[in-house]
Amino acid sequence: MGTTEKLPSSVPPNKKKLELSKTLDSQLQKAKLGDSQAFSEIYDRYAGKIFNFASHMVGLREDAEDITQDTFFLAFRNLKSLREHTNFEQWLYRIARNEIYKKGRKSAIRPDSLDDADKGIQHVLRSSNPAANPENRLLSVELGERIKRVFKTLPIQYKETLVLATLQGLNYQEISGIQGRSISSVKTDIYRARLMILEKMRK
């Protein structure tokens, strides 16, 4: 009787996350020493996330691209000030956030100008946790345009928190670190923002 060949198992999520963390740590160490190739690899890994965040917040593609470039320029210039490599993503988002608000002070933020950013807005009513809220599931994709219009009326603080939680997929602790606020405040913002959207949708 022949032996059954064992099928290769997939890499456990925790192990994969650890491997990515080690890779990032190595890249950051090299980048701190001036290795532009290492920082280029970091850019390739995170540029899409930062651009998506910026585009949902500022509206214009050109502005989102400028913010993304400025964010990584500042990150590279100030990389040596980053002590904990595990906090790199939150640190990067904080730089982007500062650039977004700086841009907002110079010109009106127009989230209705970027079609690519609008593609994900219909998901803002889904729970930021893995278990989706049943009430929100009732809102179908067909309501996307209406949800986008309502989303644009939110106060910028609520909008930012929803973008980070729902469209960027960050958890409460990560958002708390980016915004410099308590986890309970982040949860409250998400709850109030989703409630505000639901109330406006019922009108």
Q: What is the pLDDT at residue 87?
A: 87
Chain segment 31-57, per-residue pLDDT in tens: 999 898 999 999 999 999 999 999 988
Question: What's the whole-number average pLDDT of the chain?
Answer: 78
Mean predicted confidence (pLDDT) in 167-172? 91
* Cα–Cα distance measured from residue 173 to residue 187, given in angstroms and rounded to the nearest whole number: 10
Other beta carbons within 10 angstroms of residue 3's beta carbon come to 5
Assigned fold of 18-106: Rna Polymerase Sigma Factor; Chain: A (1.10.1740)
* CATH for 120-202 (3.40.50.10420, 3.40.50.150, 1.10.10.10, 2.40.30.10): 1.10.10.10
Q: Can you give the residue ranges of every domain in the chain? A: 18-106, 120-202
- Could you tell me which residue, 5 or 190, shows the higher pLDDT? 190
**pLDDT confidence band for 174 (50 / 70 / 90):** very high
Q: CA 55, CA 51: separation in Å to the nearest integer?
A: 6
pLDDT, tens only, 52-74? 999 988 878 899 999 999 999 99
Residue bearing the bigger pLDDT, 185 or 200: 185
Asked whether 27 and 38 are in contact (CB, 8 A), the reply is yes
- pTM here is 0.72
Q: Looking at 22-31, 64-73, 121-130, 167-176, which range is the least confident one?
A: 121-130
